[in-house]
Copies of this chain bind each other. A is one copy, B any other.
C-alpha cells in the first residue's frame, strides 16, 4: 500500500470520494480510513477536510452534524444528484485516460 504521488491524485481523488460516499453516508475521519483501505494510500487531513468543504459549497454533497458517544461531533455527508451527475461525466474521461496509458505502456514493454 504505497503512497500515491499527490499530482497523480488531482482530479481523481475528488471523484473517488464522491463514489465512496455514494456507497453509504460517511464522515471525514472515517473517509480517510476508507480511502486507505480502498488502495489510495494515506490521504492527509489537510487534503480531505478542505475537499469535503468545497464539495459541499459546490452542492455535490450535503452534510449534517451528529453527536458521537465515543468522541467529538461527526459531519455526515451524502451525495446529491449533482454529485452523481459529475461522477457520471467523469467516468468516461477516466476510462479514456486509462486506455491511452495502457496502450502507451504496452508499446514500452513490446
Which residues in A have some Cβ–Cβ distance to B below 8 Å? Answer: 2, 4-5, 7-12, 16, 19-20, 22-23, 38-41, 87, 91-94, 96-101, 103-105, 107-108
**Are A105 and B91 neighbours in the complex by a CB distance under 8 Å?**
yes
**Are A101 and B108 neighbours in the complex by a CB distance under 8 Å?**
no
Chain B residues in 8 Å Cβ range of A91: 105
Give 8 nearest A-B pairs by CB, closest first: A7-B11, A39-B100, A10-B10, A8-B11, A7-B10, A19-B104, A40-B100, A38-B100
**Are A4 and B104 neighbours in the complex by a CB distance under 8 Å?**
no
Q: How long is the Cα–Cα vector from A62 to B77 in the complex, in angstroms?
A: 49
CB distance from A59 to the nearest CB of B (A): 19
